[in-house]
Chains A and B, each alone.
Chain A
Amino acid sequence: MTETVAIETIMRTLADPTRRAVFERVVRSAEISVGELTRDSGVTQGAISQHLKSLKLAGLVAERPEGRKVYYRAEPEGLAPLVDWMSHYAVFWRDRFDNLQTLLREIDP
C-alpha cells in the first residue's frame, strides 16, 4: 500500500544532507542492510537507523526483515509528488539563469 505523502514531508525529509546521502545509497542498491549503510558512512548505526525511519515515514524506502537483519530498498513512488511542473521548472530556471549569465558576458563583455 502506498500512502500519499505531502511534498513538504518529502522535502523536509530530504533536506538533511546525511539522510539524503543514505537515501541515495539505498536508491543505488537493489537492497541494502543497515550494517552496509553504516560502513564507510562516518555515522553511527543508530543514526543511520533514525534516518531510515524518517525515510520510511516519508514513504521513500521500504524494509524487509530477514532473520536478525533488515534490508531496505527504495520506493520509487515515494518521489512521485515531486515529478511535476514544479520540479520541471526548478531545473528549467536554474539552467536558464546559467544561459543568461553566458549571454550577458557575450553582449556586455
Chain B
Amino acid sequence: MNDVATLTGHRKIVVDQVFPHTLDVVWKTLTTPALMGRWLRMEPKGFEPKVGTRFTYQTTPAGQWDGVIRCEVLEVIARERLAYAWKGGHEDNVGYGSLLDTVVTFTLSAVETGTRLRLVHSGFLLPTNESAFENMSKGWTQVVQSIDALAAEQG
C-alpha cells in the first residue's frame, strides 16, 4: 500500500499488491497500450516497451498546463521491471498542475499465489508555494479522507 519516504525534500508513493495471475499476464497489462488504457483510464500515445521511447498520457489540464504527462521509458526488463519518467505541469501552477518531474517504476516478482506488483512513484518535491492553498476550506473533509489512507500507513 502507500507509504511516504522520510527523505527530506523528495518523497515517493508505494503501492504493493499480489495479483493471482502469472507474470506474463500482469506484464502484458503494463506494456500493451490498449490494456494500459483500460486500467489506467487513459491510453498512452506512442508507448513501446523499449528504452528511450517517448510517449504521453492526456490528463486533466490546469491553468497554462495542457494536462499532458510526458513520459520516457527508462528501463525495461521483461516480466521484471518497467520504469518511465513521468513529467508535466507548469511553473505558474500550484498544487495539482504544478511542475512535476517524477519517475514511475513497476517491479514484478513471482510469488506462490501469483505475481507481486510493486509500484513506486518517486521524485515528489515539497510544495513551494503556500498561497496555493487559499481555497482549501472548500470541501476539505474529502481531503481528510484521502490523507487518512496515507497517514495510516505511517503508523
Contact = CB atoms under 8 A, between A and B. Distances in A.
Given A99-B38, A104-B21, A11 B136 contact: no
Where chain A touches its partner, the secondary structure class is helix
A43 interface: no
A78 to B, nearest CB: 9
B125 to A, nearest CB: 9
A30 interface: no
Nearest to B115: A104
Interface string A93-105: 1101101111110
B127 A81 contact: yes
Contact of A90 (B13, B28, B117, B155): B13
Interface of A: 2, 4, 6-8, 10-12, 14-17, 20, 23-24, 27-28, 76-77, 79-91, 93-94, 96-97, 99-104, 107-108
24 contacts: A11-B151, A14-B147, A14-B148, A14-B151, A14-B154, A15-B152, A15-B155, A24-B144, A27-B144, A28-B141, A76-B136, A80-B127, A80-B133, A81-B126, A83-B132, A85-B100, A85-B124, A87-B150, A88-B96, A93-B15, A99-B38, A104-B19, A104-B26, A107-B28
